[in-house]
Amino acid sequence: LGLISNTSILELSVPSVHDGGALVAFGSGVVYITLQSVISFKSCPQWNSHSTCYIRMAISVVSWIAVIPMIACASLISITKIDWIPGEKDYTYHFVSAVCEWTVAFGFIFFFLTFIRDFQVGIYEPKQ
């Protein structure tokens, strides 16, 4: 729901809907990967290795560390624009928020890449 409203509403047309969608997408995504990391620990070592569990939890912690300043700095930005110039008002907040946003986004990607081994184990092969 957050991604739909975030991607379908342009940032400058209705900023509050765009920002709300980003908040839902990133917030619920971080909660999801944290819960999935806990499930990984519960199913260890039957379904995955301890190192995979620790990698998933590390990604979850980094995502939590990045999502909090992302939300805080994004809420402090008083103007909405696309092109920013260093030294402008709220540039630092925008920069920190953008770096944290990309950190969380890449965290999601790397988190989901840790499931490659899980899905390779469960390949169904029909009987001949």
Residue 128 located in a structural domain: no
29 found inside a domain: yes
Tokens of 120: 């390779």
- Does residue 22 register a pLDDT over 50? yes
Residue 114 lies in a domain: yes
With respect to residue 108, please indicate whether it lies within any of the assigned structural domains. Answer: yes
Whether residue 51 lies inside any domain: the answer is: yes
Q: How many domains does the chain have?
A: 1
- With respect to residue 126, please indicate whether it lies within any of the assigned structural domains: no
Quick: pLDDT tens for 29-81: 999 999 999 999 888 887 788 899 999 999 999 999 999 999 898 888 776 76
Instruction: Residue 99: give the domain boundaries.
Output: 2-121
Task: Kindly report the pTM of this predicted structure.
Answer: 0.77
- Give the tokens for residue 65: 């560390």
Nearest to 101 by CA among 126, 63, 124, 70: 70
Geometric angle at alpha carbon 24, from 22 and 28, rounded to 5°: 120
Does the residue 88 lie in any domain?
yes
The rounded distance, in Å, linking the Cα atoms of 89 and 93 is: 9
Determine the pLDDT at residue 54. Answer: 94
Q: pLDDT digit string (tens) for 35-45?
A: 999 999 888 88
Q: Give the model's pLDDT for residue 104.
A: 94
